[in-house]
């Protein structure tokens, strides 16, 4: 792919503010031109930008990857598109095109039909797929404010009849065929539906010749809300009121039983509290029996809905008669710990204008722990109790939220009087809590988090596979009604005011299980490569150490007078927000590391300053020294780092681990004759045989068909300058340069016709080399990522070029070309160009 030609076609590729959209345009153009491989390279770069891709861009990636033969990547991209917006029309059509099997085709078609923005052509394709798959009839219905609207499509004769049923019995309606429906596929017939319906409905059926050809439930919505009082929040904190706990129940008896038992115990601890469970027309007999058994023992008040009202309607029924009471709306898959009601009430009455309170949770959207907005697995009961006890002990003050979250939402009585019951516009559930609490803000009340309470929450157990479509439909409704919610959410995410509270909880609760501790400077390629080689399997053992899921990474960096230490678990578990100043908070850091009690400590880079190094050396170990991270391709600092760690550790180090052959050779010389030389080991990849190469003075050496790929695992100004010089020199010889990774200024290189993939994880370099069609590899002299580079050579089988660290064994060569590191950049670039053009023997 020639980036110079791409720039001629669309100069916006080099403009920061338009780069993302230009990449997508260029990819679509190359795909239409029959070059899916080029389109794939462009879209992969688009996905790596900080600006999140739209669902349609992910869908385009899925289509392109499928055309390029990368089916696994296509499936992953389509899953991302569906996660971003399952109702996006482009995503729906791509999903339908890529679907394999009857069930997958039907699911893709139904997603298109559920989307309000799908055009007639998309609807026709979806209907055609369903009817061809054997569906007799396909309707789309909406039941709002007593009005049923929509349409039905079918094949054959006669037209089906529509039956509506509810507590009042059944009503039959004859469908009148409409010949002018533009969205009907060939051979299909259809009818529009527009009926005024009194009362409540439970569901519908389409019948023909006495046979049911389609059926489903109906969930009533309402666009109207009761008038709101105009009273403002009180000037002083009001007197406390008794609490009503409202728990809507529909499915999943196991989590419901757990949640009910915990709620009953907690209500018993709080004077005047009362539990109201709402059976929202549950189809599960075990749920009905469970609720009745609790009600028979007087442990709760049981209310039932005549038809399935969904979460908003069930909450409204549970709140009926709660005037003057505080309320806790609790999901049937959220488990209250001891003292939860007291802590929620304490937060609600901490200030006159607090209206709603949401606790921390593993799955709490804004209040999720350990990662903001990302659900984590429900912790085991003992771990959940440990987290809640720590949160209670820390006693952090309430933190403002843009909105409350309904899995465990406490609403103070005066706020409840001001906002009434949740809106019924959101069918079944999702986002009714967001609108409800936005109304509280509009009335002058604050929504806050209670960081001193942790409530485990399973999430989505009642809605199952319907969740994605419910979320997408209701999110559209919410954004139409509250256009500013997107900006408010983005601002909260950027500010992340709960980060400090999450970090304090992480500090109080180091992960159990004695994980491996990896220590190194921020940006260390040695740490990145080590994590890649350990692998993603959580808790699994490897030959030397544990996998990434059983690992905590400690990265340190200097920041003025501070020594910043950040701790993170690569598998997404805690810690994720924990940071110390190792100089000012040396004792706290040492205490946390001691409580972590790692089973093994692996050390990369130089010995950090006292404070951090002292805390590390207090650990029991065992210790391994990860050799690597030379500076500017020089072997001396590498040997010095290893020797410094060895001197500090004494006999406590069990091995020195080199991830590449050159580093192993340097350290072997360092330990030559040393009785502990046997502790030096390596997991360097096996060298590949040297590839055949033309004679250095061949009259007509073959020209490379692909670019020279410059591997940049560590962005640096020196590597950027090297790439500019090398790219210009290659272009003068009719060859091209591509950068694998991120540079210090990607667009500066792209503006010169050099393709740049963008930031890559350690495992993505080899696929990226194949995607750009690399003919050879090179490592910039300033990039210390030799371990990654050797692995990349072994994985791809491509010839490689790098400068000499002073440690590469003479045979077989670690690279096809090893250059003298004492030469200046001009000579190094010229040697690389000559070698790549086939004029210099390996």
Write the DSSP assignment of 538-594 as a string of letters.
Answer: TT-EETTEE-GGGEEEEEEEEETTEEEEEEE-TTS-S-SSEEEETTTTHHHHHHHHH
268, 270, 274, 279 alpha-carbon torsion, rounded to 10° = -70
Please report the pLDDT score of residue 666 as a whole number: 82
754-781 mean pLDDT: 95
Q: What is the CATH number of domain 510-682?
A: 3.40.50
Measured in whole angstroms, how far is the alpha carbon of residue 382 from the centre of its chain? Answer: 27
- The position carrying tokens 């529909």 is 250
Distances (CA, A) of 2 to 41, 124, 708, 750: 12, 39, 13, 11
pLDDT digits (tens, 9 = 90+) for 104-160: 999 899 989 988 778 999 999 999 999 998 899 999 998 888 889 999 999 988 999
3-state secondary structure of 154: strand
CA pair distance 73, 467, nearest whole angstrom: 24
266-287 mean pLDDT: 95
CA pair distance 57, 39, nearest whole angstrom: 12
Q: What percent of the chain shows pLDDT beyond 90?
A: 69
Fold of the CATH domain 243-485 = Spore Coat Polysaccharide Biosynthesis Protein SpsA; Chain A (3.90.550)
Angle between the 786-796 and 525-534 helix axes, to the nearest 10 degrees? 40
| Two structure tokens written together for 521 | 């400077």
Mean confidence (pLDDT) of the chain: 89
CATH architecture observed for domain 137-218: Sandwich (2.60)
- The burial of 562, by beta-carbon neighbours within 10 Å (0-12 exposed, 13-18 middle, 19 or more buried), is given as middle
Q: Which of 188-192, 257-261, 657-661 has the lowest mean pLDDT?
A: 657-661
CA angle 350, 384, 351 (to 5 degrees): 5
Please report the pLDDT score of residue 464 as a whole number: 45
Please report the pLDDT score of residue 540 as a whole number: 36
Q: Which residues contact 691 (CB under 8 A, 6 or more apart)?
A: 797, 799, 816, 842
Measured in whole angstroms, how far is the alpha carbon of residue 31 from the centre of its chain? Answer: 28
Please report the pLDDT score of residue 331 as a whole number: 95
Please report the pLDDT score of residue 541 as a whole number: 37
**Nearest residue to 233 via CA among 448, 481, 434:** 448
Q: How confident is the model at residue 842 (pLDDT cuts 50, 70, 90)?
A: very low
CA pair distance 804, 816, nearest whole angstrom: 12
Q: Which residues contact 750 (CB under 8 A, 6 or more apart)?
A: 3, 7, 13, 14, 19, 756
Q: How confident is the model at residue 322 (pLDDT cuts 50, 70, 90)?
A: very high
What stretch of H or E contains 93? helix 89-98
Please state the domain extents for the chain. 137-218, 243-485, 510-682, 708-836
Q: Residue 842, Cβ neighbours under 10 Å: how many?
A: 15
CA pair distance 505, 396, nearest whole angstrom: 10
* In the predicted structure, residue 662 carries a pLDDT above the cut 60: yes
Please report the pLDDT score of residue 545 as a whole number: 42
Please report the pLDDT score of residue 576 as a whole number: 96
189-205 mean pLDDT: 88
Q: What is the CATH number of domain 708-836?
A: 3.40.50.2000
- The position carrying tokens 């992910």 is 58
579-607 mean pLDDT: 95
Please report the pLDDT score of residue 184 as a whole number: 94
Please report the pLDDT score of residue 716 as a whole number: 92
- The burial of 99, by beta-carbon neighbours within 10 Å (0-12 exposed, 13-18 middle, 19 or more buried), is given as middle
- The position carrying tokens 């959580």 is 538
Helices (H), 659-800: 661-670, 717-732, 746-750, 765-771, 786-796
Q: Residue 814, Cβ neighbours under 10 Å: how many?
A: 24
665-683 mean pLDDT: 85
- The position carrying tokens 């010995």 is 607
Q: How confident is the model at residue 696 (pLDDT cuts 50, 70, 90)?
A: very low
| Two structure tokens written together for 106 | 């039907």
438-465 mean pLDDT: 85
Per the CB < 8 A criterion, the answer to whether 589 and 519 are in contact is: no
Report the sign of the C-alpha dihedral through residues 72, 75, 80, 81, in that order: positive
**Nearest residue to 452 via CA among 377, 502, 381, 402:** 502
Per the CB < 8 A criterion, the answer to whether 85 and 472 are in contact is: yes
Q: Which of 64-68, 435-439, 655-659, 673-677 has the lowest mean pLDDT?
A: 673-677
Strand ranges across the sheet with 161-166: 169-174, 161-166, 203-208, 211-217
More confident residue, 195 or 306: 195
Measured in whole angstroms, how far is the alpha carbon of residue 654 from the centre of its chain? Answer: 37
- The position carrying tokens 């139904």 is 110
| Two structure tokens written together for 625 | 């020294």
Please report the pLDDT score of residue 219 as a whole number: 76
Q: Same topology for domains 510-682 and 708-836, yes or no? A: yes
CA pair distance 678, 254, nearest whole angstrom: 56
CA angle 461, 464, 470 (to 5 degrees): 110
pLDDT digits (tens, 9 = 90+) for 469-482: 666 666 676 677 77
Q: Residue 672, Cβ neighbours under 10 Å: how many?
A: 8
More confident residue, 818 or 60: 60
| Two structure tokens written together for 227 | 């008038």
């Amino acid at each position: 792919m020639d980036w110079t030609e791409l720039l001629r076609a669309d100069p916006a590729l080099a403009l920061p503010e338009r780069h993302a959209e230009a990449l997508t345009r260029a990819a679509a153009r190359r795909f239409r031109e029959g070059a899916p491989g080029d389109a794939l390279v462009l879209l992969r770069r688009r996905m790596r930008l900080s600006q999140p891709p739209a669902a349609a861009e992910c869908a385009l990636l899925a289509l392109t990857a499928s055309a390029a033969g990368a089916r696994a990547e296509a499936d992953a991209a389509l899953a991302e598109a569906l996660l971003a917006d399952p109702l996006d029309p482009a995503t729906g059509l791509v999903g339908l095109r890529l679907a394999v099997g009857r069930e997958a085709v039907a699911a893709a078609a139904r997603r298109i039909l559920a989307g309000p923005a799908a055009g007639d052509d998309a609807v026709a394709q979806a209907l055609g797929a369903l009817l061809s798959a054997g569906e007799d009839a396909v309707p789309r219905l909406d039941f709002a404010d007593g009005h049923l609207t929509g349409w039905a499509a079918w094949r054959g004769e006669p037209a089906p009849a529509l039956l509506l049923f509810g507590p009042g019995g059944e009503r039959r309606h004859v469908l009148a065929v409409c010949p002018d429906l533009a969205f009907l596929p060939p051979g299909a017939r259809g009818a529009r539906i527009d009926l005024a319906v009194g009362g409540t409905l439970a569901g519908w059926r389409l019948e023909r010749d006495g046979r049911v050809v389609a059926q489903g439930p109906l969930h009533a919505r309402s666009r109207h809300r009761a008038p709101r009082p105009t009273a403002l929040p009180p000037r002083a904190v009001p007197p406390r009121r008794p609490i009503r706990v409202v728990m809507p129940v529909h499915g999943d008896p196991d989590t419901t039983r757990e949640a009910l038992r915990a709620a009953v115990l907690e209500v018993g601890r709080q004077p005047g509290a009362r539990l109201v469970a709402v059976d929202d027309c549950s189809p599960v007999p075990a749920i009905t029996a469970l609720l009745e058994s609790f009600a028979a023992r007087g442990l709760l008040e049981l209310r039932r809905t005549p038809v399935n009202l969904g979460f908003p309607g069930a909450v409204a029924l549970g709140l009926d008669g709660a005037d003057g009471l505080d309320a806790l709306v609790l999901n049937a898959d959220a488990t209250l710990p001891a003292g939860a009601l007291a802590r929620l009430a304490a937060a609600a009455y901490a200030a006159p204008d607090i209206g709603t309170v949401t606790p921390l949770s593993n799955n709490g959207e804004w209040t999720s722990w350990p990662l903001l907005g990302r659900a984590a697995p429900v912790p085991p009961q003992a771990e959940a109790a440990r987290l809640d006890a720590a949160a209670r002990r820390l006693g952090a003050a309430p933190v403002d939220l843009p909105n409350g979250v309904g899995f465990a939402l406490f609403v103070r009585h005066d706020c409840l009087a001001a906002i009434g019951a949740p809106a019924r516009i959101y069918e079944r559930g999702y986002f009714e809590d967001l609108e409800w609490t936005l109304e509280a803000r509009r009335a002058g009340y604050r929504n806050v988090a209670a960081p001193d309470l942790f409530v485990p929450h399973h999430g989505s157990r009642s809605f199952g596979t319907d969740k994605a479509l419910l979320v997408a439909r209701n999110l559209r409704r919410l954004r139409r009604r509250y256009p500013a919610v997107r900006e408010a959410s983005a601002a909260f995410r950027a500010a992340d005011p709960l980060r400090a509270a999450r970090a304090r909880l992480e500090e109080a609760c180091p992960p159990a299980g004695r994980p491996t501790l990896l220590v190194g400077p921020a940006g260390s390629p040695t740490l990145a490569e080590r994590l890649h080689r350990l692998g993603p399997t959580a808790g699994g053992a490897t030959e030397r150490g544990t996998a990434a899921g059983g690992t905590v990474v400690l990265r340190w960096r200097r920041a003025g007078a501070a020594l910043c230490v950040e701790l993170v678990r690569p598998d997404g578990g805690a810690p994720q927000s924990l940071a110390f100043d190792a100089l000012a908070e040396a004792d706290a850091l040492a205490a946390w590391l001691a409580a972590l009690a790692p089973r093994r400590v692996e050390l990369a880079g130089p010995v950090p300053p006292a404070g951090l190094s002292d805390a590390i050396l207090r650990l029991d170990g065992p210790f391994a020294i990860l050799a690597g991270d030379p500076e500017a391709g020089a072997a001396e600092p590498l040997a010095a780092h290893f020797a410094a760690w060895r001197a500090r550790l004494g006999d406590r180090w069990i091995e020195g681990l080199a991830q590449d052959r050159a580093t192993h050779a340097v350290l072997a010389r360092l330990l030559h004759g040393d009785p502990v030389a046997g502790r030096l080991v390596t997991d360097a990849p096996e060298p590949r045989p040297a590839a055949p190469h033309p004679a250095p003075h061949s009259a007509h050496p073959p020209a490379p068909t692909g670019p020279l790929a410059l591997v940049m695992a560590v962005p640096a100004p020196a590597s950027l300058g090297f790439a500019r010089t090398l790219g210009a020199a290659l272009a003068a010889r009719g060859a091209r340069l591509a950068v694998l990774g991120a540079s210090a200024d990607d667009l500066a290189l792209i503006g010169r016709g050099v393709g740049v993939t963008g930031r890559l994880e350690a495992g993505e370099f080899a696929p990226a080399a194949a995607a750009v069609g690399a003919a050879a590899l090179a490592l910039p002299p300033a990039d210390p990522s030799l371990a990654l580079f050797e692995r990349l050579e072994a994985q791809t089988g491509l010839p490689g070029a790098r400068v000499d660290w002073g440690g590469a064994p003479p045979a077989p060569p670690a690279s096809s070309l090893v250059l003298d590191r004492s030469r200046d950049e001009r000579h190094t670039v010229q040697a690389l160009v000559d070698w790549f053009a086939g004029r210099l023997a390996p």
